[in-house]
Copies of this chain bind each other. A is one copy, B any other.
Amino acid sequence: MARRARASRQRNTQGGGAIASPFIRRKLKHFDILDEEDLVKIEAQVDWIIQEVGIAFRDDPEALALWKKEGARVEDDLVRADASWIRALCAKAPSEFTQVARNPERSVTIGGTNQVFAPVYGSPFVRDLERGRRYGDMASFEELVKLTYMHPNLHHGGFVTCEPTDVPVSKRHFDMLMAHITLSDKPHLGAITEMSRAQDSMDMMDIVFGRDFVDDNCVIMANVNTNSPLLVDRVVTESVRVYSARGQGVITVPFILTGAMGPVSTAAAVAQAMAEAMMVCAYVQLIRPGAPFVMGNFLSSMSLKTGAPTFGMPEPVVSNYAIGQLARRIGLPLRCGGSLTASKIEDAQAAYESADSMHSTMLAGANFVLHSAGWLEGGLVTGYEKLVMDADRLGSYQKVLSQGLDTSDESFARDAYGEVEAGGHFLGSAHTMRHYQNAFYEAQLSDSENVENWEERGSLDMRARACARWKQMLAEYKQPDIDVAKLEELQTYVAKRKEELPDAWY
């Protein structure tokens, strides 16, 4: 293995400079858009769904048996329960917890006033300016893991940075996990598509961290979707039985295209999503009280012209603000939002939509943000340029959140007014000299040159600069160190499991 890269130096050269940190400790106040009356109304709707409408737990008799045994009303596969009991179960989940990374300097705390940014998840395609749009493969996956590792404004590796479609589905998760474990030392998620794959992920974590350590610490999380409306399938409950049973984190995300998987109203869709996620959280707490849980929310609007989902639009912006406030009220860590867009390329549409989506995500207080960088084409594509462009902007959000407005005595610069006259300038004042180096976020991919210099350098747009950037980053990549014995154990485990399993493409 290459020698361990110096994390601190990397942080200073790769992006946001001084403001980079393993996650964001928010200082900025929250934005509460709902008053008490609105909150009560939405929570009453949540409780009504839980008590009267019910959530189906499908194709998993074991889950239904547990619900029945614990006192829920189960009718076929529909589970209804006393809402106050479900709320009491949800209260057992920690309001914040730490996911320990292989490199403990990179461990992240999720929940409370902490915010964590992770890249796009699950795209079957990738796109970059040199190679165009193509199916994701293992080579791209590894490049994207490397870029995520190197970028100071991404705190978490996510997991499926793209689908490596050149590897059989039955074996893909091994290669993805090995890439995250060996090419990066940031925290990451695990496999969920089948119970055995979830178990493989846990087994590999036991090798990396040691079984006892895993029993006492969250070292991995699973990200699962409910099957909205009102349906939880066995992918979710089995993931819960593997991950939550060992005290690992589970993020549960209702994906609701309003008007399709939920009513065509933001308030109703937010309430439904919350009811679905709360029922899964309660199920988690039945499996292992106190297991970490992240309430997810992913609400999309729709174009009447095309019927396709749209992103960065006013309805999801408002829903981000609303769910942020509701999550703080119930005391559950929240995943929502991201740098989302329907655009096919890294044009102004992509940036406008991503920025409005992410600005609201940031202010909403989302504790874990999957898709915070790299998302294109409604999530079908991971963009290389988009990844570094979005991540550059994340540094700005990080500063807004972690610093807010400094109102220390020093910030008021009274001494400077003794030096500068009306109509003068502060460029040389002692206060400016003391602070100018850290006063401003320096975006790496924003060009502030005058037009003549910009033209002389080739009139490059942000896409072209981003392309140069990720290529430079990959050229400079140095693999983080890993314990050789553990690496061999992982390799042996993966080789053995791959031998046991057939190649399968589903």
Contact = CB atoms under 8 A, between A and B. Distances in A.
Interface of A: 28-29, 31-35, 37-38, 41-42, 45, 48-49, 53-56, 58, 77-78, 133, 227, 229-231, 258-268, 270-271, 301-306, 308-310, 312-315, 317-319, 321-322, 342-356, 359-360, 363, 377-378, 380, 389, 393, 396-397, 399-400, 403-407, 410-414, 416-417, 420-427, 429, 431-432, 435-437, 439-443, 445-451, 454-455, 459, 461-463
Nearest to A413: B263
| CB-CB nearest 8 A-B residue pairs | A351-B351, A355-B355, A263-B413, A56-B422, A348-B351, A347-B461, A314-B399, A230-B422
A478 B44 CA distance: 51
A303 B440 contact: yes
Given A38-B407, A314-B399, A348 B389 contact: yes
B31 A363 contact: yes
A348 B462 contact: yes
A376 B29 CA distance: 31
A314 B431 contact: no
Contact of A359 (B306, B356, B377, B404): B356
B432 A264 contact: yes
Contacts of A443: 310, 313
A301 B441 contact: yes
A449 B429 CA distance: 54
B306 A449 contact: yes
What number of copies of this chain does the assembly contain?
Answer: 2
B48 A414 contact: yes
Given A33-B405, A264-B436, A451-B380, A314 B360 contact: no
A411 B347 contact: no
A426 B354 contact: no
Interface centre among A133, A305, A356 (most CB of B within 10 A): A356
A28 B77 CA distance: 40
Nearest to A424: B229
9 contacts: A31-B31, A48-B414, A133-B451, A229-B423, A259-B426, A263-B429, A305-B442, A313-B440, A352-B354
A342 B449 CA distance: 8
Nearest to A437: B304
Contact of A440 (B302, B378, B450): B302
A471 to B, nearest CB: 18
A352 B393 contact: yes
A264 to B, nearest CB: 5
A351 B358 CA distance: 13
A328 to B, nearest CB: 15
Contacts of A442: 303-305
Contact of A229 (B230, B261, B313, B422): B422
A166 to B, nearest CB: 21
Given A271-B412, A349-B351, A445-B349, A435 B54 contact: no
A435 B304 contact: no
Contacts of A404: 33, 318
B308 A448 contact: yes
B440 A405 contact: no
B310 A448 contact: yes
Contact of A230 (B397, B423, B441, B448): B423
A282 B437 CA distance: 37
Contacts of A445: 349
Given A346-B348, A405-B38, A440-B313, A377 B413 contact: no
Most buried by B among A34, A42, A410, A443: A443
A283 B491 CA distance: 77
Contact of A265 (B258, B363, B393, B431): B431
Given A263-B426, A265-B410, 9 more contacts: A45-B412, A77-B422, A261-B426, A263-B429, A265-B435, A302-B440, A308-B450, A310-B446, A318-B403
A410 B355 CA distance: 31
A441 B315 contact: yes
A343 B312 CA distance: 21
Contacts of A406: 265-267
Contacts of A227: 423
B41 A33 contact: no
Contact of A400 (B53, B314, B441, B449): B314
